[in-house]
Structure 1
């Protein structure tokens, strides 16, 4: 292996996957996201906050896989403390093994509670669109797969950018080895938000019976166009878009085969 890294191909090659944070999105926005996934034919792993018939149907047909998106912030409707939030998630969406917390909020206690509930993988760290990202192992035993691209980070760093900029700022790190996990939000994809200011201007109209997706959406270049361009660029380079769950399995197999990546008690 060219890098000498114990992470093997995860360090020396590129691995591309798409994830989404549901974030209480209205069903119409979730449907827009699912249609986008169908059209592009990419596997999608959704970190889910709340019930969604659209996501239930998509999971049944194999269009998406799912994990938890718990809210550990004060005042959370998921619970008053870490144990109660984890219990809520386990009752709402049992049998999953992945997590990304709302707002990337975390603590040692929260991660330990999640591990005790059966969570084995997270995708918590939002990088600065960094190359050479590899997994790590938390003290709880959770294997961590960092995020390469976070849509609202892009919208804050490059607000109202147009097609002339496109994905130019990402070209160097996109070409570098390592994990390329993209994270999107249904509402930002549905609105094709160009900035957080645009999204904030639409907040009051996105819920309720009177929501008009066509009227709410941005009619110019937005974050959906950016993410689509990343997907197309990787494919043009001959790369494959993989399931996030497959990346989890690949990382776990490497951890299990090495004695230098973690010191954990025997199961």
Structure 2
């Protein structure tokens, strides 16, 4: 049996894809993210926590794809138990097949509820910018595509960094290269978490846009990753297209398809 089985070319190739967690961002920050992704010609998949006219408009125009960003934590405004949370998300964003939970919080019960609602893929595991990341099949049958670059992990591990040298080695490694950002951090070009924390009240309760950090911040770090990948000839994939590619690999492998219903039609969400 070849060492590349069952993930085939994903073992030796890179797959870059951009995602974002809405996280109740104000509309000015959401529009800043959308404008930035459009200007950079980056396909964007947004995991959504709440209704947003800006995201609805972008989705209708085909500018973004979307999934759920449920909050399963105690006291969540989404609901008091996993099935209530799932029902809440399905109420305003039906028919999606992807998920990433708020804070990467999860449980087996929550993932069973998501699978029952038609979710087929998650992007749930935040790696430490690891190379050689590959999909995996969760016990619920949901197929997991781990995160390579998480913006708040970057800010916690490399606060105030002025360039991306700490991650260049793994950037060049094969495997999944899913990036995850937040509208507020992109809009503000946050350099560290304390920068965001001291502005939290003004972000969510203020009247409008705040000034972005003028020095090197996480937006600059993501742009440097994009430039480095493109300089190497790498393409940027829609997250939904990446899910389709992974689904084909799962369906073709007897070792993986025992529990993964990735090709089955999703049930109605809501």
Same fold (TM over 0.5): yes
**Map of 2:158 onto structure 1:** 158
Shift of 1:148: 0.2
CA distance in 2, matches of 1:127, 1:236: 24
From 228, 236, 239, the counterpart of 1:241 = 236
Preserved contact between residue 3 and residue 12 of structure 1 (Cα < 8 Å)? no
**Map of 2:253 onto structure 1:** 258
CA distance in 2, matches of 1:92, 1:42: 26
Cα deviation digits, residues 111-152 of structure 1 (max 9, x gap)? 000000000000000001000000001111100000000000
Query: Is 250-259 or 4-13 further displaced after alignment?
Result: 4-13
Change in Cα spacing, 1:32 to 1:18, as seen in structure 2 (3 Å) is: same
From 162, 165, 168, the counterpart of 1:168 = 165
What SS is found at the alignment partner of 2:204? coil
Shift of 1:263: 1.9
Normalising by structure 2, report the TM-score. 0.94
Shift of 1:210: 2.4
Shift of 1:183: 0.2
CA distance in 2, matches of 1:19, 1:196: 20
**Map of 1:54 onto structure 2:** 54
Shift of 1:230: 0.4
Query: Is 233-242 or 200-209 further displaced after alignment?
Result: 200-209
From 177, 180, 184, the counterpart of 2:181 = 184
What SS is found at the alignment partner of 2:109? helix
Shift of 1:43: 0.1
**Map of 1:66 onto structure 2:** 66
Cα deviation digits, residues 11-43 of structure 1 (max 9, x gap)? 110000000000000000001101101110000
Preserved contact between residue 159 and residue 195 of structure 1 (Cα < 8 Å)? yes
5+ residue gaps in structure 2? Answer: 265-270
Change in Cα spacing, 1:95 to 1:265, as seen in structure 2 (3 Å) is: closer
1:195-210 equivalence runs, <5 A: 195-208=192-205, 210=207
**Map of 2:33 onto structure 1:** 33
Q: How many residues align?
A: 262
- Please tell me whether residue 112 in structure 1 is matched to residue 112 in structure 2: yes
CA distance in 2, matches of 1:188, 1:205: 14
What SS is found at the alignment partner of 2:198? helix
CA distance in 1, matches of 2:206, 2:108: 41
Preserved contact between residue 32 and residue 186 of structure 2 (Cα < 8 Å)? yes
Shift of 1:265: 8.1
Cα deviation digits, residues 74-127 of structure 1 (max 9, x gap)? 000000001100111111100000000000000000000000000000000000
**Map of 2:222 onto structure 1:** 227
**Map of 1:213 onto structure 2:** 210
Over the aligned positions, Cα root-mean-square deviation in angstroms equals 1.5
**Map of 2:268 onto structure 1:** none
What SS is found at the alignment partner of 1:65? strand
CA distance in 2, matches of 1:221, 1:52: 29
Preserved contact between residue 126 and residue 149 of structure 1 (Cα < 8 Å)? yes
Shift of 1:211: 2.8
**Map of 1:147 onto structure 2:** 147
